[in-house]
Amino acid sequence: MSVDSVKNQLGIELVIFEKIRLIIGEGREAGLYQSRIEDVINGGVIISEPQFVSGQSLLRNDIVVCVQITRHDAAYQFFSRIHTQKTSGLKQVILSPPKRLERVQRRMFIRVDLATRITYGELSESLNWSNWEQQITWHKTWSANVSGGGTLIRLPELMKPDQLVVMRLDIFSEANLPEYVVAVCRRAYKSEDFFYGGFEYILTDDLKHYFKGATLSKLPDTFRLFSDKAQDKLVAILFNKQIEQRQKGVL
């Protein structure tokens, strides 16, 4: 199997070093691993050693896995059987030739219509970080939808774009994700007498783009926990929720 034959079979091209997610099983106990594509050979696709992210279903040799790839235009998935082999003393992890390609979402992150309780407060440069929780005015609200990249929530009034907030989401606590996540308001609007705001979560490595050097060093450690790995876990959880909604006829 060549790269071209994979492209012809799947309809998309597999990119060397591209990050992939491997999901084993379904539902809340599904196991999530992350890996990267290393090469395409006659026997399938060579990937890097999968790294465990979350879940109860463990990776085993010769098990069927759902492989997810997120692109700027869409999220894709296909199914393969995973196995290991030793070549010249080196272990290789190989996915069998991909089957059943699906374009599961046009957006970079799956968006699920989900009402989860959210508590949020606006952040400012003037905060005393030694007791920041007591200085913030907290608001309780609900999400309209949630994705791996952000959430749309109901607001008491319009908020300025680029306003930074800190959030606590029930879905995060239910999934053992970080208690707090820093987010930035990307848009705010009024619809049928209600105000809404679309917020993007800020990853650990991107905090430096939003906080000045002196402030960055004072940020609470809990703000630094929403990493790429945590985001991958959230994406997998929402993907499974989307599957549940489809099975129930909600979508």
For residue 248, what pLDDT is reported?
67
Residue 8: its pLDDT value, please? 44
Same domain? For 101 and 115 the reply is no
Q: Nearest to residue 137, comparing CAs of 112, 178, 166, 161?
A: 166
Do 144 and 243 belong to one domain? Answer: yes
Structure tokens at 127: 């905060």
Same domain, 124 and 59: no
pLDDT at residue 7 in the model: 45
Of the residues 69, 84, 105, the one at which a domain ends:
105
Same domain for 189 and 135, yes or no, is yes
Q: CA–CA distance from 227 to each of 86, 172, 223, 230 (Å)? A: 33, 13, 10, 5
Residue 159 and residue 122 share a domain: yes
**Nearest one of 230, 232, 210 to 219, comparing CA atoms:** 210
**133/236 same-domain check:** yes
Ordered per-residue pLDDT tens for the chain, 251 residues = 444 445 445 566 788 888 888 988 876 677 888 899 998 887 789 999 998 877 778 888 889 998 988 776 667 888 999 998 877 778 889 999 887 677 765 555 677 888 899 999 999 888 888 899 999 999 999 999 998 889 999 999 999 988 999 999 999 888 889 999 999 999 999 988 899 999 999 989 889 888 888 889 899 999 999 988 888 888 888 877 777 766 666 54
Closest CA to 116 of 149, 151, 148: 151
- Print the domain residue range for 177: 111-247
Last residue of a domain, one of 73, 105, 137: 105
CATH of the domain at 81: 2.30.110
Main-chain phi, psi angles of 47, to 5 degrees: -125, 165
Query: Are residue 119 and residue 186 in the same domain, yes or no?
Result: yes
Q: Which of 81, 105, 129 is the last residue of a domain?
A: 105
Contacts of 9 (CB under 8 A, 6+ apart): 97, 98, 101
**In this structure, are 130 and 37 located in the same domain?**
no
CA proximity to 95, closest of 128, 62, 124, 122 = 62
Q: Could you give the CA distance from residue 88 to residue 22 in angstroms, rounded to a whole number?
A: 26
Q: Are residues 29 and 129 in the same domain?
A: no
- Distance separating the N- and C-terminal Cα atoms of the chain: 36
Nearest to 82 by CA among 157, 168, 23, 145: 23
Same-domain pairing of 93 and 132: no
Give the global pTM.
Answer: 0.61
Number of domains in the chain: 2
Question: Which amino acid is it at 200?
Answer: E
Find out whether 164 and 190 touch, Cβ atoms under 8 Å. Answer: no
C-beta separation of 22 from 35 below 8 A: yes
| Domain match, 91 and 138 both | no
Cβ(101)–Cβ(233) below 8 Å: no
3-state secondary structure of 63: strand
Question: Beta strand pairing status for 164-169 and 181-191?
Answer: antiparallel
pLDDT at residue 159, as a whole number: 93
Query: Are 149 and 238 in a shared domain?
Result: yes
Are 40 and 59 in contact by the 8 Å Cβ rule? The answer is no
Q: Which of 187, 235, 185, 246 is nearest to 210 (CA)?
A: 185
